[in-house]
A = this chain, B = another copy of it.
Amino acid sequence: MLNSIKESPLYPIVNPKSIAFFGASNNFSSMGTSQFNSLRDLGFEGTIYPVHPKEEKVQNLKAYRSVLDLPEVPDLAVLVVPTKIVSKLLEECGEKGIKHAIIVSGGFKEVGAEGGDREQELTAIATKYGIRFLGPNCIGVANPYHKLNTTFLRYLGDPGFIGMASQSGSFVTQMFNYLSRYSLGFSTAFSVGNEANFDIVDCLEYLGACPNTKVIALYIEGIRRGREFMEMARSIIPYKPIVALYIGGSETGRQAGFSHTGALAGPDQLYDGMFHQSGVIRAYSIGELFDMCWVLGRLPKPRGSRVVIQTHSGGPGAAAADSCGREGLELPALSQDTVKKLAPLVPNTGSIHNPVDITFTKNPIDYFSDIPKILLEEDNTDILLVYFLVPSQMVNRALERMGLSKDQVIEKSAKFIDAQCKSIARLIETYNKPIVGFTFRSIQEDFTKSLINQGVPVFEGPERAVRALKASVKYSRLSEKVLINTGKG
């Protein structure tokens, strides 16, 4: 593992001070223009040099006819141009002395033999000039900490803690919106494309050393350097978790993966074994990939797999218990001491056994403070899983019928929500145990949004919550084992 990201040859790719941009124009609908605009929208603080064969200005920035005309040698070249002129332009970048490039353009190995030849030509040019490049056939990178986003969609939300390397550009750029809805974000994300020069192992190395990255997410259709991948992963696991979505396990997926990036996807078991041996946690969908990252990056490591469920209705409690059972998480019995403490807080139509069902008939404040406290103090539990029936409708209705004005209702309700969410979120630190919620309401609602912003992951349905927790339990065991084996514990 690297000691610093500055040792990585990818460093200038995601931390450039100056960029030569090929393919932006004054045509609003072109891909290149979109990517150029994303870069500027995020407020990139370095210098951007648009290179355009005809225009004087591109989107109000002075344009250059050729990269050779630039007043300095930029750190990075980004190419979003027609296939047939990519090598010529890369050659010119080489002549100029540029050492790093992102080649977004497609039409290479992924389209067959002829494209393969074109890709070899690129590689030869790169070798000749000592250029390292990402792509071709990629969407570029995002490093929101550096205000860098070369993809064609705006970066939304704040910089985050998920480091991503993806063999699909969509799963970088199209996730900005997705992640921001969960108050998540990328630390740095790479779309690796055809991996003609840099590959996913290089990205893994970078992300392993990246101080903003708490958890690494991978989207994989096929790995070329299997042994290097495993060694790299193993060296990172003691410090941060790696989660991977591998597509290509089924025959239909395999075929789609092949035409997508030209990688030869291998059989499912092979990858499963490879992940298992190197400590990479496997996800089975994009949703699950980021669910796992959420819990792994946001919450303390659970000490074990014993879950206590807190609910205020039976069905969701039973569904959560069922999910735990299916995923191999335990539902321990609560100690006599805990049962005694719970008894006065839970009505007799509820349940003081695990799942603890407090129903609706007592003080809702207990739900966010006293009861979770008791459950976290219990020695038999490692994780608290809470069903949130966001009660704002009932709160609002009660306030309305008490004769409060609309504004007063909004204000009172917001205060109530804020206080409750803070109260439960604080317990994560106090007890150093993960708290995860689930709901059937929209995660865009005030209550859920507030919980999420305070640091409590809330999932749509118990299954997603439990599968994410399972990843956390896995990593906890894994890192312990690794730490012991390597003497790092």
Interface residues of A (CB under 8 A from B): 28-29, 31, 34, 37, 83, 106-107, 110-111, 137, 152-154, 166-171, 174-175, 177-178, 181, 219, 221, 245, 247-257, 259-261, 284-287, 309, 313-326, 330-331, 348-349, 351, 353, 355, 357, 359-361, 389, 393-394, 397-398, 401-402, 440-442, 444, 460-463
Contacts and interface: CB of A to CB of B under 8 A. Distances in A.
Given A34-B394, A174-B313, A313-B169, A322 B286 contact: no
Contacts of A256: 309, 314, 317-318, 320-322, 331, 355
B287 A463 contact: yes
Contacts of A361: 31
Contact of A316 (B168, B252, B441): B168
B29 A260 contact: no
A457 B169 CA distance: 25
A321 B252 contact: yes
Nearest to A333: B255
Contacts of A251: 325
A250 B322 contact: yes
A285 B463 CA distance: 7
Contacts of A257: 318, 321-322
A331 B394 contact: no
A255 B321 contact: yes
A252 B325 contact: yes
A292 B342 CA distance: 39
Given A169-B313, A318-B256, A322-B250, A397 B37 contact: yes
Given A219-B315, A221-B318, A348 B107 contact: yes
A433 to B, nearest CB: 19
B315 A171 contact: yes
A260 B322 contact: no
A106 B320 CA distance: 22
Lowest 10 A-B CB distances belong to which pairs? A168-B315, A250-B325, A253-B322, A260-B314, A252-B325, A256-B321, A106-B349, A170-B313, A256-B318, A170-B315
Nearest to A462: B285
A479 B175 CA distance: 40
Contacts of A313: 168-170, 174
A420 to B, nearest CB: 16
A453 to B, nearest CB: 17
A440 B349 CA distance: 41
A168 to B, nearest CB: 2
A155 to B, nearest CB: 12
Given A221-B318, A247-B319, 15 more contacts: A111-B348, A152-B394, A154-B397, A166-B315, A245-B319, A247-B321, A252-B322, A253-B326, A255-B321, A255-B331, A256-B322, A256-B331, A257-B318, A260-B314, A261-B314
27 contacts: A34-B397, A37-B401, A106-B349, A107-B349, A111-B349, A154-B397, A168-B315, A169-B313, A169-B314, A170-B315, A174-B440, A177-B442, A181-B442, A245-B319, A247-B318, A247-B321, A248-B322, A251-B325, A253-B322, A254-B325, A255-B321, A256-B317, A256-B320, A256-B321, A256-B322, A259-B351, A442-B444
